[in-house]
Amino acid sequence: MKEKLKKIVENATNEAKTIKTENDYLNIKSKYLGKKSELFELIKSIKDMIVEDKKKYGPLLNKIKIELDSIFTKYYDAVINADEKVTFDPTLPVSNDKGSLHPVTIIAKEITDVLKNIGFMVLEGPEMENDYYNFSALNVAENHPARDMQDTYWLDNGLLLRTHTSPVQVRAMEKYGAPIKMCAPGRVYRNEDLDASHENTFHQVEGMVIDKDISISNVIYVMKGMLKEVFKQDVEVRLRPGFFPFVEPGFELDCSCTICGGKGCTTCKYTGWIELCPCGMIHPDVLKTSGIDPDIYSGFAFGLGLTRLAMMKYKISDIRALNSGDLRFLEQFNVR
């Protein structure tokens, strides 16, 4: 294995020297550190090793992963610094152009306005969360794949960057009890390989309703109503069965791709559909954990992807443009 790792590091270092653009950086990083990389396959194989090999290769593989990430960042930083030679002149006249809202901010406000009109509270929670609120209280077992280091950004202080806005629903149940209607827009983080429809930093809005006699028809009604208000027209949606530890039954709600009109493109991976919203009936164990009696109350929850919704509304074909900071792109959205 040591020879294989030596070859990986050698090849990665040589390719890092060819980084000239952000795309180069992202592609090379994905090649050597992404979920389809040779190094990631070796990291996954640790669980099948004998104890002695785990102790021997576990720290080594993690060390190489960190070193390669540092090497790629070093060469990319050198490219950025080479381009930043223009100095700031404080005597330059100030532009009279006004700023505009980010498309995700616009979508978040439209969604929360719709939900507030039907009685939802708008809440917020910390982006740096603990294991209990992000996983345990949501019925995510300790051995669940969502806890994998490749999906979650764990911090040196033992906390993590939240992987969804669902922790806010747990905090809301603890604070307000039932019945309750709440939503929580916010930023979330996942260690994803970047492409046209995936980012490692994106936005969701969590929604939850708990009361007596709530059923899945309620979530379908709310979701279709929200999307109709955002797109100003009836939107074609579909429900697919989905498994999520915190809901039972669980579903994936998809929206017909507005980029290609459902014909298939790179954004929807040629399926004609964009996955927008995991949803379902709140698992009884989640209600119990938060102090709500599941024999009296039932509820639904959804996690709507605001970033993808913005892409659909404004026909943005590449999700990476939203976090690019490119003013030429952002100036198109003149809603203030």
- CATH number of the domain at 237, please: 3.30.930.10
Q: Are residues 114 and 143 in the same domain?
A: yes
Phi, psi values for residue 42, rounded to 5°? -65, -40
Does 200 lie in the same domain as 301? yes
Q: Judging by DSSP bridges, how do beta strands 247-256 and 180-189 pair with one another?
A: unpaired
For residue 179, say if its preceding peptide bond is cis, omega within 30 degrees of 0. Answer: yes
Q: Is residue 246 part of a domain?
A: yes
Of 54, 83, 112, which residue is a domain's last?
83
Number of domains in the chain: 2
Please tell me the distance from the alpha carbon of residue 230 to that of residue 239, in angstroms, as a whole number: 19
Walk along the chain (336 residues) and give the pLDDT tens digit of each residue: 778 888 888 988 998 888 888 778 888 888 888 888 888 888 888 888 888 888 888 888 888 888 888 888 888 888 777 655 556 677 777 776 666 788 889 889 999 999 999 999 999 999 999 999 999 999 988 877 766 655 888 898 989 999 999 999 999 999 999 999 999 999 999 887 767 667 788 899 999 999 999 998 898 888 888 888 887 777 788 889 988 889 999 998 888 887 787 888 887 888 888 887 889 999 999 999 999 999 999 999 999 888 888 887 888 888 788 888 777 777 777 654
Strand partners, 286: none
Rounded Cα–Cα distance for residues 76 and 81 (Å): 9
Element (H, E) at 128: strand 128-129
* 93: in domain: no
SS3 content of the chain, % helix, strand, coil (to 5): 45, 20, 40
Whether residues 250 and 298 fall in one domain: yes
Residues 37 and 116 in one domain: no
The size of the chain, in residues, is: 336
Domain carrying residue 10 = 2-83
Instruction: Report the DSSP beta bridge partners of residue 161.
Output: 128
Tokens coding 102 = 């980010």
Cα 234 to Cα 223: distance, rounded to the nearest angstrom: 11
